[in-house]
Structure 1
Amino acid sequence: MKKRLKFIRQIGTVVALIGSLFSYAMFQGGFVSWFLFYSFLPFGLCALAIAAYPLRRIQVTRAIASSSYYAGDTLTVTISLRLPFFVPLAYVMVDENWPPALQQTERNRAMPLFWRKTYSCTYTVSHLPRGEHLFSAIRVTMTDWLGLVTKETAFPIEDAIIVYPRYVEMKYRKISSQLDQGGAASSIPLHRDMTMAVGVREYVQGDRFSWIHWKASARKNELMTKEFEERQSDDIVVVLDRTPTPLFEEMVTFTASFLRAAIKKGVQTGLISVGSDRFIFPSRNGEAHLQQLFYHLAKTACDSLQPFARIIQQEMTQWPLSVSINYVTSQLTKETAASLSDFAAKNRCGTVFLIKRDEHGVANEERELLEQLRRKGIITIITTPEQFANALFGGGQR
């Protein structure tokens, strides 16, 4: 309503100026008064023409080179205008309705049309941030030579781009470590063959109900669980810590690189990502699966309200022991270390990737916790963005 009243006042001002100059010339007469009237008349008529111009009939298009990018890429956008018929404009201002994450400083562009009916401009957005970005509308504003009348309208032209996380070319291999006793412990757990039971042991929380050996339980008067013949499996699952941290982008880059390297190697790979939402991707491989994982990583955020220790306690019990668990985090707490130690006692050691900005970013408390985890048989790797490519080949601190 305010814009309409402002527009009406602008038209009234133009009409009043033309009328005043005409009245002045009629009553005053002489060269000067008529010179003023005829000098202003073209500008006044141009302003009235813009006021009556059907702005909605302008054809506005936005051309984006691609719909998918990677973080850090440069986006190129071309906006084109085609006027239905000529009008003597001073310029047309084009204002993009920018996605909030882009935060561009140059929010509009002036197109000096002069005597043209078509015009286009191209702008670039460098260092694209990860995420899904929606361009929702283009606002077009036109004005006359003296700026007496300004007319604007918005064209709801929607375009979306997806910016996948950046990744590095990571070399993939199975990770192994040496226990204090000198034996080699593979980070790839052994898969249990359910068709052949080779012994019994005491029941521990997390064992399946079908594994209980009822005869042995009756003899010992306590629950006993069958032990099965074991064989190796290459399946892995990556657990991404989504608790708030300033290193979340580095964690996403490492996770994307790790997932890509494993899937390219033919390894069945899954992802657990729990924050304000919960996404569980089962262990698979193939390009379609990798694209699905990257699409999730493009939109995920560090918005978890629960501590990482509670999340892994809730999620890990649902996965078989045949899957190797890899934890990606930027901060190691006592609660997380305690949870990982509990899983190690159940023959699920796994690997912890601690992401830091540099080699001096590890706190003393974290170093003590890392040493405790190593003694439990849990592989721990401290890595920085510069070391991601060789993180699985000693490109980090163990």
Structure 2
Amino acid sequence: MKKKKRFIAQILILCSLFVILFAYAMFQGGFVSWFLFYSFLPFSFYSFAIALYPWRRVTVRRIVSRRQYHAGEQLTVTIEVQLPIWFPFFAIMIGEEDILALNMRPSKRIIPFIWKKKFSYTYELEHLPRGEHTFTSIYLTASDFLGLMKKTSFYAIKDTIVVYPRYIAMTYRQVRELFEQGTAASSLQLHRDQTMAVGVREYVPGDRFSWVHWKASARKQQLMTKEFEEQRSDDFLVVLDRTPTPLFEELVTFTASLLRAAIHAGVRTGLVSVGHDRYVFPPRNSEEHLQQLFSHLARVNCDSREPFARVIANEKRSWTASATLCYVTSSLQEENVFLLREMAMRRRGMLFLLKEEMKKEDHRFVDMLRQSGISVSILSPHTMRATLQGRGE
């Protein structure tokens, strides 16, 4: 509405100038007054031509070379304009109406002296941020020589790109070395195959009630537990902490690196991501599964309204018993520590802690977790960022 009023005001100003100069020439007479009137005529006709130009028939096209990128890469966009009628425009400004999703300034450029019906404008956006970004529309602005008339037309052209998170190229061997930091426990959890009992033993706290061997307990006059054959499980279930944190991009980067390394090594890997929305990807091993995980990590935000410990407590019942749990977080709270220690009585887990600086309380929590059999790896976000910069990402 404001643009329409501005356009009407510009037309009224042109008409007023035309009438004033004509009246001045009629009443004043003489060479000077008529010279001013006739000198203004070409400029006024040019301004009216811009206002009456069929802008709705202009064809505008945005060309994006790819639809999928990784964070930190460069995007090249070309805007092509096809005019329906040739007109000697003094200048045309081309720009994107909104690139706020990319947290960048709108791209625009003034192209002077348009003498062709078809022209283009190419621009680049560097260091793309992670996420799904949508370009909404393109605008063209034409102006006359005196700046009395400006006509802006918008063209709704929607294009969407997906920017996947960055990742550090790690081998599965390097991942296992991270698992083994701080504890001598095996990097892969052993789980019991409950389909094959190989013996009985005395009951110990933490054994499931369903494992009790009632006949042997009656003979021994004490609780006896079935002894199952232990098998090695390579299944991973990565649990991402989505509570608000300034290190969330680093958490996503490491999670993406971990998932990629495990799946490329043939390990069945899943992901638990709970925040404003809830996504649980069961352990699988395929490139299609990795693509789904990266697609989710491209859109994920640190928008969890519940503490990480409460998320784990709510979700742990739905996790498969055979999978090794890998927690990725940037904060250790007392509530988290007690819950993880309780869960360590039934299954071993791994904790990846991204911290800029470890405090005395953090070291105490780490020692408590390691004493409970949980492998804890402390990672430096500064080192991670330096590694990514070294790769040119």
TM-score, length basis structure 2: 0.89
Aligned pair partner of 2:371 in 369, 372, 375? 375
Cα offsets for 1:21-56 (capped at 9, x unmatched): 223223333221221112111110011111111111
In the alignment, the residues of structure 2 paired with residue 20 and residue 66 of structure 1 have an alpha-carbon distance, to the nearest angstrom, of 56
In the alignment, the residues of structure 2 paired with residue 205 and residue 98 of structure 1 have an alpha-carbon distance, to the nearest angstrom, of 57
Moved more, 134-143 or 84-93: 84-93
In the alignment, the residues of structure 2 paired with residue 241 and residue 178 of structure 1 have an alpha-carbon distance, to the nearest angstrom, of 21
Cα offsets for 1:235-269 (capped at 9, x unmatched): 11111111111111111111111110111111101
Match of 1:158, SS state, is strand
Partner in structure 2 of residue 110 of structure 1:
110
Cα offsets for 1:309-359 (capped at 9, x unmatched): 11112222322332111111111111111111001112x1211111123xx
Residue identity in the other structure for 1:32:
V
Distance 1:319 1:205, change over 3 A: farther
Distance 1:22 1:355, change over 3 A: same
Residue identity in the other structure for 2:80:
S
Residue identity in the other structure for 1:199:
V
Does the 8 Å CA contact 2:182/2:377 hold for their aligned counterparts?
Answer: no
1:223-242 alignment, distance < 5 Å? 226-242=226-242
How far does residue 221 in structure 1 lie from its aligned partner after superposition? 10
Partner in structure 2 of residue 396 of structure 1:
none
Does the 8 Å CA contact 1:137/1:158 hold for their aligned counterparts?
Answer: yes
In the alignment, the residues of structure 1 paired with residue 4 and residue 180 of structure 2 have an alpha-carbon distance, to the nearest angstrom, of 73
Residue identity in the other structure for 2:66:
S
In the alignment, the residues of structure 2 paired with residue 195 and residue 40 of structure 1 have an alpha-carbon distance, to the nearest angstrom, of 96
How far does residue 192 in structure 1 lie from its aligned partner after superposition? 2.3
Distance 1:225 1:150, change over 3 A: farther
How far does residue 196 in structure 1 lie from its aligned partner after superposition? 1.2
How far does residue 225 in structure 1 lie from its aligned partner after superposition? 6.1
In the alignment, the residues of structure 1 paired with residue 337 and residue 246 of structure 2 have an alpha-carbon distance, to the nearest angstrom, of 21
In the alignment, the residues of structure 1 paired with residue 138 and residue 217 of structure 2 have an alpha-carbon distance, to the nearest angstrom, of 73
How far does residue 220 in structure 1 lie from its aligned partner after superposition? 9.3
Distance 1:223 1:93, change over 3 A: farther
Partner in structure 2 of residue 286 of structure 1:
286
Partner in structure 1 of residue 200 of structure 2:
199
1:212-291 alignment, distance < 5 Å? 213=213, 215=215, 226-291=226-291
Cα offsets for 1:143-178 (capped at 9, x unmatched): 222121222221110000100000111121335659
Does the 8 Å CA contact 1:96/1:139 hold for their aligned counterparts?
Answer: yes
Name structure 1 gaps, 5 residues minimum: 392-398
Check if 1:95 corresponds to 2:101.
no
In the alignment, the residues of structure 1 paired with residue 82 and residue 277 of structure 2 have an alpha-carbon distance, to the nearest angstrom, of 44
Partner in structure 2 of residue 394 of structure 1:
none
Does the 8 Å CA contact 2:350/2:375 hold for their aligned counterparts?
Answer: yes
Does the 8 Å CA contact 2:132/2:162 hold for their aligned counterparts?
Answer: yes
1:309-320 alignment, distance < 5 Å? 309-320=309-320
How far does residue 117 in structure 1 lie from its aligned partner after superposition? 2.4
Partner in structure 2 of residue 352 of structure 1:
351
How far does residue 101 in structure 1 lie from its aligned partner after superposition? 3.2
TM-score, length basis structure 1: 0.88
Moved more, 6-15 or 40-49: 6-15
How far does residue 293 in structure 1 lie from its aligned partner after superposition? 0.5
In the alignment, the residues of structure 2 paired with residue 16 and residue 378 of structure 1 have an alpha-carbon distance, to the nearest angstrom, of 82
Name structure 2 gaps, 5 residues minimum: 388-393
Partner in structure 1 of residue 142 of structure 2:
142
How far does residue 296 in structure 1 lie from its aligned partner after superposition? 0.5
1:1-398 alignment, distance < 5 Å? 1-173=1-173, 174=176, 177=180, 184-197=184-197, 198-199=199-200, 202=203, 207=208, 213=213, 215=215, 226-346=226-346, 348-357=347-356, 361-385=357-381
In the alignment, the residues of structure 2 paired with residue 259 and residue 23 of structure 1 have an alpha-carbon distance, to the nearest angstrom, of 79
Does the 8 Å CA contact 1:88/1:144 hold for their aligned counterparts?
Answer: no
Does the 8 Å CA contact 1:237/1:324 hold for their aligned counterparts?
Answer: yes
In the alignment, the residues of structure 2 paired with residue 100 and residue 373 of structure 1 have an alpha-carbon distance, to the nearest angstrom, of 43
In the alignment, the residues of structure 1 paired with residue 15 and residue 323 of structure 2 have an alpha-carbon distance, to the nearest angstrom, of 79
In the alignment, the residues of structure 2 paired with residue 37 and residue 103 of structure 1 have an alpha-carbon distance, to the nearest angstrom, of 49
Residue identity in the other structure for 2:14:
V
Corresponding residue pairs, total = 382
Moved more, 162-171 or 79-88: 79-88
Does the 8 Å CA contact 1:270/1:284 hold for their aligned counterparts?
Answer: yes
Distance 1:152 1:205, change over 3 A: farther
How far does residue 232 in structure 1 lie from its aligned partner after superposition? 0.6
Residue identity in the other structure for 1:158:
K
In the alignment, the residues of structure 1 paired with residue 151 and residue 207 of structure 2 have an alpha-carbon distance, to the nearest angstrom, of 69
Match of 1:156, SS state, is strand
